Structure 1
Amino acid sequence: MRLTTAEATLDALLRHGVDTLYALPGVHNDHLFDAVQRSGRMRLLHPRHEQTSAYMALGAALATGRPQAFAAVPGPGILNCTAALLTAYGTGAPVLAIAGQVPSDAIDRGWGHLHELPDQIGLLRHMTKWAARIPDAAAAPRLVAEAIGAALGGRTRPVALECAVDVWGRPGKTAPVAPLAPWKPPVDPEAIAAAARLLGAAERPIILAGGGALGAGPELLALAEMLEAPVVTYRRGRGVIPTGHRLAASLPVGQRLWQEADVVLGVGSRMHFAQSVWGTDPGLKIVRLDIDPEEPSRFRRPDCAVVADAAEGLRALLAALPAQNRTRRPRPEVAETQAWFADRIARQEPQMGFLRALRTILPEDGIVVEDVTQVGFVGRLAFPVQAPRRYISPGYQDNLGWGYGTALGVQAALPGRAVVALCGDGGFMYQAQELATAMRHRLPVVAVVFDDGAFGNVRRIQAEQFGNRLIACDLANPDFVAFARSFGMAAYRARDAAELERALGEALAARAPALIHVPVGEMPSPWDMLAPRRVRGLHDAWRPALP
């Protein structure tokens, strides 16, 4: 069939299950937008800033695990999206960035075309797993298939395509390309056997599960129960096993148990805190299960590396382990450490009171998006989560201001679910204009804005570590309730946990966009539980990585 490059790209996206485009219009992408309009098959959601289009695609990808796409004009447009792309890279989100480009004969010539950016494709390659330029309509279906295949194959990560302004509207002969099967490494039976021997002999095993384990919850739980091994999750791994399970462990629990652990199994986890800060020694055996062949040896050489999809690798371990294992009883030190953490975190007020109010009102399948805020710091440790992808965190980028736009994308992808964004006043103002987007597209996200009139974490560090010399940390804020109402949005003010619970109940019941302003003072720091510290051994340099 004969299609323009824009039409061929759009058709290929739809064939790969991408039915929503998050984007702002701009002259370099006019033909793409026109193709979307004429097609009638692609939903187009336009925010008020390019950054938010990328965050919305990111939120949709994190909430569903499916590929999502955003588009931006070249130069300033795509540069506005880079914080979201970096976060997609860090959180393993299958996001496709579609960037416009200057006329094809002017690319990288330095002629000063509108929005020209030297080596734009090179920039995109630094923040994505795969990037390419669409040269014509004939190549578009294949390149879309390769992009989506790369995003989903192995370790999921963002990818990018760019297309010149004169190429989008140029017609050509095209043919559909079937979706590529995502690459998965085969499970190595010898590696599984070695891992089973180490785990079966362990007296005090511990499991660290990250975002790579999100699709392997049942297998992970079965293995944990077989080994009586606590499963430590943080940020991306939250919910992979239910919070209330006796073996579900938060980060501080993991840090304490790490001191005496003899074998650790990392499943889809970078194990960054554990290996680079908590410390290792020759008495600790490390087993890594990861789909990325480069990951197991990034910090130190493991005693055993299984390169496989998490679910497939765990199923193989479950089959191999009984021959190496023995009858195990619940470990007293696990229950004791869990009790210590429960007592300690219960006294983290007012943050825990706010989180209890949210858990009381939010439906079980509701989704929380945590911005970088004092309540969020406690939430990533203690908010009860019963299933994966219900507590969404920015991962190691921890970029302030990501929360509200990301929550809008979560809501767009899962319209029947309740979505709450936990924001601070500093972070929310990065995206405050997107209240207009929520109203325009009827996205019933409830934004909870905890307002301490400062970049709270920065202020505390300056006070405690720099002799109370406070620099650029105090803020002048609007009346958040009046601000939200100026968009036609329901808005509430809650001065304590009880008022927050009532406001949340009313806002979520209305199924409409809403904002809840929660004025707070300086909150007590949770950093004695959050900050990793060395608890055993020497630095990981004692054992070099594999060449």
Structure 2
Amino acid sequence: MTRMTTGEILAASLKANGVDTVFGIPGAHMYDFNDALARQDGIRFIHTRHEQGAGYMAYGYAASTGRVGAYTVVPGPGLLNSGAALCTAYGANAPVICVTGNIMSHLIGQGRGQLHELPDHLGTLKGLTKWAERINHPTEAASVMDQAFDQMLSGRSRPVGIEAPWDVFGMAAEVAEPAATTPTPAPKPDPDLIAQAAQMIAAAKNPLIMVGGGARDASAQVTELARLIQAPVTAHRQGKGVLAEDDPLSLLPPAAWQYWQDCDLLIGIGSRLELQHFRWRWMPEGLKTLRIDIDPTEFVRLKPDLGVVADAADGVAALIAALQAQGITADDRSAQCADLRDAATEAFRAVQPQESYLRVIRDALPRDGFFVEEVSQVGFSARMCFPVYAPRQYVTCGYQDNLGFGFNTALGVKVANPDKAVVSVSGDGGFMFGVQELATAKQFGIGVVAIVFNNSAYGNVRRDQQTVYGNRLIGSDLENPDFVNLAKSFGVEAHKVTSPEDLAEVLPAAIAANQPVVIEVEVPKGGDASPWPFIHPAPLT
């Protein structure tokens, strides 16, 4: 037994569970925890210029590695400022832990207007996370942290929250040293259901595999299954790279849409099937659906013909074994997939200038580099045409699609992967949500290349107002700073380009510099072709 404060127990628990970086902003409620972090060997503290930046950086750390991303903020406004990042982590199934405070324990619920008081602080935290709890005394701290890590890392991974009252962080007690948490084991695939699934696949003529974020740790198994049954594999956002997108059986969404017309079996692996059920919206006649997912509520939300509750890697491995036992064989589809890819690539060249700029970025970004998208014309287009070669290399915001997450998230990706190239793409509107974190990038030498596409508008909003609402523009035109001089005022290298050829000249050196760089891409207002005909394709006649 050792005498430790609550703050010290939390810091030791983070270290015991492999956390090596905490993002955040210190504050009065958190001083005893902040000091414990300062004295904890092996944990780096990166302070940000806004709480939202801290949350997004923790998300980028988690999304790009699968490891826990941690951040700390003061209660009340600090927690609320980081709320969008928690929403993103929740929607994108990322293991993020938020450590925050509360007012003095004897004043909680009194409504006396204490510093940073919320009417129901813990309830607010619970509403943004998979699980959240308050630590009321240091003797509870280790067990509460153990529950937090179990919740984060068991089943469907999502963010969790821990709060402690202001006075409790510095309170001490005799406790055992915190130890690493052993997550609850995933359920084993039901052999009867696996046998039925194998029969469904054996009976299918044109199966399609759809992978999502839940399949990111099952890349080898998905690749083997695709080879075995010669099924094309596609992904929308989170699942990009689960099968390398230069693989003969990989189809980016526009090519997969063409194959979809004759599909008779949809195999969803760790995916909400958003692409098929929300983006495409047209179902082939006689289609059957097989799903493998660790979250059984998915089968209630979107009922399949057959659902197997299992970790993706375990479920697919069991399915492969059952198919091999049947002696299944399938004709090579690589030539068919190549034709579909070629036709889709040629069709998507109409989406300019986004497609050309994305080709330049892909050519310059190393194969193992990370690409962080943003809610922008280039970001939307990337989902359709930007190839990715391994899981987690394409970092997105999941279904939240929240403007402004990209650059801040990219900083967390780079902190977690310092030896890899990281490029983020943002619109001018989204970049301004987190532009202050250029100071963080400079102070800590976080070498993200931030490409800002400046069309002086919230482009998607402006297009919709023009085409749907009689050109009545409201709140969609933007007055921007000089992004190059703004970046330089932070001490950050910056360039301005006006064409894909210009970008091709400056981007390789920017990546090689491994220092913060901003590249502004000037795009004429209204000069972006719409990618939406490919994202929401019309039914083929």
Q: Same fold (TM over 0.5)?
A: yes
Residue type of the alignment partner of 1:99? T
Aligned to 1:416: 419
Question: Is 1:197 aligned to 2:199, yes or no?
Answer: yes
Aligned to 1:488: 491
Q: Secondary structure at the match of 1:296?
A: helix
Task: State the TM-score, normalized to the length of structure 1.
Answer: 0.95
Gap change, CA 1:491 and 1:178, over 3 Å in 2: closer
1:393-436 Cα distance to aligned partner (Å, 9 max, x none): 11111111000100010111111111111011010000111110
Gap change, CA 1:116 and 1:532, over 3 Å in 2: farther
Aligned partners of 1:207 and 1:266 also within 8 Å: yes
Question: Is 1:350 aligned to 2:353, yes or no?
Answer: yes
Question: Is 1:529 aligned to 2:525, yes or no?
Answer: no
Residue type of the alignment partner of 2:309? V
Residue type of the alignment partner of 1:320? A
Question: Is 1:214 aligned to 2:216, yes or no?
Answer: yes
Report the Cα offset of residue 40 of structure 1.
3.9
* Contiguous gaps of at least 5 residues in structure 2: none
Report the Cα offset of residue 44 of structure 1.
0.4
1:45-88 Cα distance to aligned partner (Å, 9 max, x none): 01100000000000000010001111111111100111110110
What is the aligned counterpart of 2:505 among 502, 505, 514? 502
Report the Cα distance in structure 2 between the residues aligned to 1:401 and 1:449, rounded to whole angstroms: 12
Aligned to 1:294: 297
1:490-518 Cα distance to aligned partner (Å, 9 max, x none): 11111111211221122122211110111
Residue type of the alignment partner of 1:295? E
Aligned partners of 2:7 and 2:32 also within 8 Å: yes
1:414-463 Cα distance to aligned partner (Å, 9 max, x none): 11111111011010000111110100111011110010000001011111
Residue type of the alignment partner of 2:530? S
What is the aligned counterpart of 1:322 among 315, 321, 324? 324
Aligned partners of 1:8 and 1:137 also within 8 Å: yes
Report the Cα offset of residue 107 of structure 1.
1.3
Aligned to 1:514: 517
Q: Equivalent residues in 2 for 1:90-105 (5 A)?
A: 90-105=91-106
Aligned to 1:541: none
Report the Cα distance in structure 2 between the residues aligned to 1:2 and 1:496, rounded to whole angstroms: 62
Aligned partners of 2:350 and 2:529 also within 8 Å: no
Report the Cα distance in structure 1 between the residues aligned to 2:364 and 2:331, rounded to whole angstroms: 36
Gap change, CA 1:218 and 1:446, over 3 Å in 2: same
Aligned to 2:477: 474
Aligned to 1:23: 24
Residue type of the alignment partner of 1:221? T
Gap change, CA 1:326 and 1:452, over 3 Å in 2: same
Aligned to 1:361: 364
Report the Cα offset of residue 130 of structure 1.
1.0
Aligned to 1:304: 306
Residue type of the alignment partner of 2:517? A
Aligned to 1:269: 271
Report the Cα distance in structure 2 between the residues aligned to 1:358 and 1:470, rounded to whole angstroms: 32
Aligned to 1:119: 120
Q: What is the aligned-residue RMSD (CA, Å)?
A: 1.6
Report the Cα distance in structure 1 between the residues aligned to 2:145 and 2:48, rounded to whole angstroms: 24
Report the Cα offset of residue 182 of structure 1.
3.8
Q: Equivalent residues in 2 for 1:95-174 (5 A)?
A: 95-174=96-175
Report the Cα distance in structure 2 between the residues aligned to 1:178 and 1:441, rounded to whole angstroms: 29
Report the Cα offset of residue 41 of structure 1.
3.0
* Contiguous gaps of at least 5 residues in structure 1: 537-547
Range with greater deviation from structure 2 (207-216 or 500-509): 500-509
Aligned partners of 2:131 and 2:160 also within 8 Å: yes
Residue type of the alignment partner of 1:246? P
Residue type of the alignment partner of 1:2? R
Q: Secondary structure at the match of 1:235?
A: coil
Range with greater deviation from structure 2 (327-336 or 518-527): 327-336
Aligned partners of 1:345 and 1:382 also within 8 Å: yes
Task: State the TM-score, normalized to the length of structure 2.
Answer: 0.96
Aligned partners of 1:258 and 1:535 also within 8 Å: no
1:469-494 Cα distance to aligned partner (Å, 9 max, x none): 11110000001000000011111111
Report the Cα distance in structure 1 between the residues aligned to 2:140 and 2:306, rounded to whole angstroms: 42
Aligned to 1:63: 64
Question: Is 1:379 aligned to 2:414, yes or no?
Answer: no
Report the Cα distance in structure 1 between the residues aligned to 2:326 and 2:466, rounded to whole angstroms: 54
Q: Give % identity.
A: 45
Question: Is 1:453 aligned to 2:459, yes or no?
Answer: no
Aligned to 1:47: 48
Report the Cα distance in structure 2 between the residues aligned to 1:494 and 1:325, rounded to whole angstroms: 56
Aligned to 2:436: 433
Aligned partners of 1:197 and 1:324 also within 8 Å: no
Aligned partners of 2:264 and 2:284 also within 8 Å: no
Residue type of the alignment partner of 1:46? H
Figure out how many residues of one structure are paired with residues of the other and give that number.
Answer: 535
Q: Secondary structure at the match of 2:263?
A: coil
Report the Cα offset of residue 200 of structure 1.
1.0
Aligned to 1:229: 231
Gap change, CA 1:139 and 1:533, over 3 Å in 2: farther
Report the Cα distance in structure 2 between the residues aligned to 1:127 and 1:16, rounded to whole angstroms: 23
Aligned to 2:79: 78
1:189-220 Cα distance to aligned partner (Å, 9 max, x none): 01100100001110111111000000111110
Aligned to 2:246: 244
Range with greater deviation from structure 2 (223-232 or 171-180): 171-180
Report the Cα offset of residue 334 of structure 1.
4.1
Report the Cα offset of residue 278 of structure 1.
2.0
Q: Secondary structure at the match of 2:300?
A: coil
